[in-house]
């Protein structure tokens, strides 16, 4: 039996608390009593949230690093540019299927683009909060009411509607004949891609105080990989929703509940026989893909996450550093520290370069071998929180203002 949904704090005395973590896309959720206890010693809830989030709307505790001129060794060129609509406080990650790009906005707009040409645009009929998941047949988004909405990828025609237990802030994953959705209460729902019939639910106990995030799941090789509050990475069978293995990315520690938050707030990364994940106030850890056996860990706090290529693991940490680690041993390779407190996105490994974007809409290109800046490009000035996505011949970013930029490296 599914336990009742945990109450979220909204007492009148907490109206000054931050409702969300600004550009980071991370939200704080807890029972009121736990919040009060956890924040003992802090002057206000807002102060405590600001300590976690240097990009809150109040005056930042840490100054955002100014961008110094770089000596470019490459060029970022815009292949095409389009607009979908504002994301508001949500995070909409575009989905890429071959040459097709599917994007969504808070007002319910969903569109398909091919090489910058708008193929179709529809309205979901209601505001949406999580998206986009897609394959060659389906496009799927979620809403704050827990609705799961599926559309035909070729035409945009509505196909089916299903329901989760709470709000959906993450992009659904489509694969292995399933649509897999993570709800705001950390439950994983799997629906039949053909008709939306619910196939299974995976749930686990979570700590009293957690971060409410836009983190989704990854479907690969008949397995769903999902990170959870408390620092656990779980491999779940797509066949029946049972756990295949779980690994400890982070171990909660500290004197207060706030200090003990160690949630995985980004999608895991998989390459070859390795699965890796990063936790807020925790560690980066890599596991054997088949058995879940630990390979290596590094103490590091990351909300944005990591990416892998054939040699290195690249991580954006919460201080604004980009770090590279050897995939086999976990040994440090390089550290780029000139983007301090700039609210970095998840890195994207792209051949001999690494892409990372920031809270002022800049896209930075780093050299894979030493982390030095290779190129930089400004978009529309709004934050790039959604994970950059690979496309044929380059990569794609979506800004919070709804700008879509397809870029290539020259």
pLDDT of amino acid 245: 98
**pLDDT tens digit at each of 410 positions of the chain:** 333 333 333 333 333 333 333 434 444 443 333 333 333 333 333 333 333 443 344 444 567 889 999 999 999 999 999 999 999 999 999 999 999 999 999 999 999 999 999 999 999 999 999 989 999 999 999 999 999 999 999 999 999 999 999 999 999 999 999 999 999 999 999 999 999 999 999 999 888 788 888 999 999 989 999 999 999 999 999 999 999 999 999 988 888 889 889 999 999 999 999 999 999 999 999 999 999 999 999 999 999 999 999 999 999 999 999 999 999 999 999 999 999 999 999 999 999 999 999 999 999 999 999 999 999 999 999 999 999 999 999 999 999 999 999 999 99
**Cβ neighbours, 10 Å, residue 195:** 10
- pTM for this structure? 0.86
- Which domains can be identified in the chain, with CATH numbers? 1-61 (no CATH), 70-89+304-410 (2.130.10.10), 91-213 (2.40.128.630), 221-264+267-301 (2.40.10.480)
> Are residues 369 and 45 in contact, defined by beta-carbon separation less than 8 angstroms?
no
pLDDT of amino acid 338: 97
pLDDT of amino acid 62: 65
**Cβ neighbours, 10 Å, residue 384:** 27
pLDDT of amino acid 182: 97
């Amino acid at each position: 039996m599914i336990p009742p949904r945990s109450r979220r704090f909204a007492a009148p005395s907490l109206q000054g608390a931050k409702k969300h973590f600004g550009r980071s896309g991370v939200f704080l959720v807890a029972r009121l009593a736990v919040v009060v206890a956890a924040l003992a010693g802090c002057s206000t809830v807002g102060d405590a949230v600001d300590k976690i989030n240097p990009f809150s709307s109040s005056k930042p505790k840490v100054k955002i690093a100014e961008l110094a001129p770089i000596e470019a060794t490459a060029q970022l060129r815009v292949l095409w540019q389009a607009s979908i609509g504002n994301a508001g406080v949500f995070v909409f990650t575009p989905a890429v299927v071959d040459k097709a790009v599917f994007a969504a906005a808070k007002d319910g707009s969903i569109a398909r683009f091919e090489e910058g040409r708008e193929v179709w645009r529809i309205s979901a009929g209601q505001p949406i909060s999580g998206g986009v998941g897609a394959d060659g047949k389906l496009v799927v988004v979620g809403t704050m009411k827990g609705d799961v909405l599926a559309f035909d990828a070729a035409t945009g025609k509505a196909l089916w509607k299903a329901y989760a237990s709470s709000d959906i802030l993450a992009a659904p994953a489509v694969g292995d004949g399933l649509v897999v959705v993570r709800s705001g209460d950390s439950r994983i729902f799997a629906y039949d891609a053909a008709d939306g019939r619910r196939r299974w639910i995976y749930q686990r106990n979570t700590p009293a105080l957690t971060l409410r995030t836009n983190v989704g799941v990854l479907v690969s090789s008949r397995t769903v990989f999902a990170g959870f509050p408390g620092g656990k990475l779980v491999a779940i069978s797509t066949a029946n929703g049972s756990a295949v293995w779980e690994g400890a990315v982070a171990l909660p520690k500290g004197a207060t509940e706030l200090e003990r938050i160690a949630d995985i707030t980004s999608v895991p990364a998989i390459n070859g026989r390795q699965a890796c994940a990063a936790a807020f106030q925790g560690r980066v850890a890599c596991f054997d893909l088949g058995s879940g056996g630990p390979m290596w860990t590094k103490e590091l706090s990351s909300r944005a996450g990591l990416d892998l290529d054939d040699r290195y693991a690249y991580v954006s940490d919460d201080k604004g550093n980009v770090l590279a680690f050897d995939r086999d041993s976990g040994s440090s390779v390089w550290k780029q520290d000139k983007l301090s407190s700039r609210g970095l996105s998840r890195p994207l490994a792209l051949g001999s370069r690494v892409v990372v974007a920031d809270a002022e809409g800049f896209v930075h290109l780093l050299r894979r071998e030493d982390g030095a800046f290779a190129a930089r490009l400004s978009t529309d000035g709004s934050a790039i929180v959604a994970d950059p996505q690979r496309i044929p011949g380059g990569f794609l970013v979506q800004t919070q203002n709804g700008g879509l930029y397809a870029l290539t490296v020259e």
